[in-house]
Amino acid sequence: MAKASKMTQKLKVRLKLRTSRIGHSIFASRNKILIYLSLLGPGIISASSGNEASGIATYSVTGAEYGYSLLWSFIPMTIFFIVAQEMCVRMGAVTGQGLADLIREHFGVRWTTVVMLALLIANTGIIIAEFVGIAQASEIFGIPRYFSVPISAMFIWWLVVKGTSKRVEKVFLIMSLVFLTYIISAFLAQPDWREVGKEFITPSFRLDSGYLFTVMALIGTTITPFMQVFVQSSVVEKGLQKEDLPVARADAIIGVVSANTIAAFIVICTAATLHVNGIKIETASDAARALSPVVGEYAEYLFAIGLFGASMLAMGVLPLATAYSLSEALGFEKGLSYSFREAPIFLGIFTSLIIVGAVMALIPNVPQVPLLLLTQCVNGILLPILLTAIVLLSSNKEIMGEYANSRLFNIFAWTVVVILSTLSLLMIFKTLWDVVFAS
């Protein structure tokens, strides 16, 4: 009996130790997951912000004009996008400096001025488009723009200027969930999924200027220069270090894949409804209204909710990205943790862009379509220039040390730059050719 009692006691002790180890392991795993989750954000927010009002308009027009035929382009664009975001995330974590800061230090003030000027023009145009998107989305629900635009502008300004970086990031991440409405809209449209799958894996290419213009607009809105600026500055702002790179890379990849999946669903939705019925559109709100008689009012409202949420997200990210880049280029203090007194240039640029965007959106009959096309094409032409700087900087061993691009990665990165540059030149040449010979 004594032996049996001792054996029982030993078993209890072993069981207790094992339970304690399991509990400790679960606790450690939970802590590890929480740490990983706390590091997520910059990649998801920057990629999602590309699906803003001008992006939704571009995807909607693409689906309405060309049906499913341009879905194949999302596969190479996703790969190219991941390469660009990964390099910027890596540079931010390794150097602790923003992209504009590195460009100024290593390429000089003149080069930086040209890039920043182009970025300012493109971003200002898109910011105006975001406010117009908010106005159009709210008007679908019967809310006048003279109410929705000022309220939205004041909310974003208050969130960024008066909030903390953690709060801003959380709100932006919550806003990105609104994109799920586009997936629901696409399923409501009941597309031919077999045709969708076929077009994803069957590339097609044409040399007419309209097609090239659309391809460049797609690239310009899917891989937008402001995203590279924002993601690197956000990594620096968040204080991510070299040891955080695996999670930061995962964040960037998740962000790109989810954002491009949403974009593809917008094309699928409008292709399945508007293209098959020969309905032409010019804006994202046109697409929302056109869906109502074809699919039903729920699709219209879902599309409008997505447009409103997307515009709100980009309305915060775009001015921030512009303020980050200009402040870095000029060597001024920047960051969401600073007050107006500590970083007047950074917060002044952000505030000015919010005011300009809101005022322009309140002007009746703003020429949105020419503005969108101009800004997307400026982005498409600026992107190869910015990518060239990114590849050169991330390849520099003096800057990056052991984290510099490998030879194989560099070959692929330069291939991406060449492809995007070729598409830009083809579009410009073909457009000018058509204008000259049409006249």
Query: 274-315 pLDDT, tens per residue?
Result: 888 888 877 777 777 777 666 667 777 888 888 888 788 778
Does 43 map to a domain?
A: no
Distance CA(12)–CA(158), nearest Å, equals 59
Distance CA(336)–CA(119), nearest Å, equals 21
Domain count, the chain: 1
Q: How high is the pLDDT of residue 390?
A: 92
Does 16 map to a domain?
A: no
Distance CA(288)–CA(298), nearest Å, equals 10
Domain of 389?
50-438
Judged against a pLDDT cut of 90, whether residue 393 lies above it is answered with: yes
Spatial CB neighbours of 217, under 8 Å, sequence gap ≥ 6: 58, 62, 373, 376, 377, 380
Spatial CB neighbours of 361, under 8 Å, sequence gap ≥ 6: 128, 131, 132, 134, 135, 145, 149
Residue of 42 and 318 predicted with greater confidence: 318
Does 134 map to a domain?
A: yes
Does 40 map to a domain?
A: no
Does 41 map to a domain?
A: no
Helix (H, G, I), strand (E, B) or coil at 207: coil
Q: How high is the pLDDT of residue 174?
A: 73
Does 11 map to a domain?
A: no
Does 33 map to a domain?
A: no
Q: How high is the pLDDT of residue 90?
A: 93
Does 211 map to a domain?
A: yes
User: How far is C-alpha 263 from the chain's CA centre?
Assistant: 11
Residue of 99 and 381 predicted with greater confidence: 99
CATH assignment of the domain containing 256: 1.20.1740.10
Distance CA(39)–CA(242), nearest Å, equals 12
Helices (H) and strands (E) in the chain, counts: 19, 0
pTM: 0.79
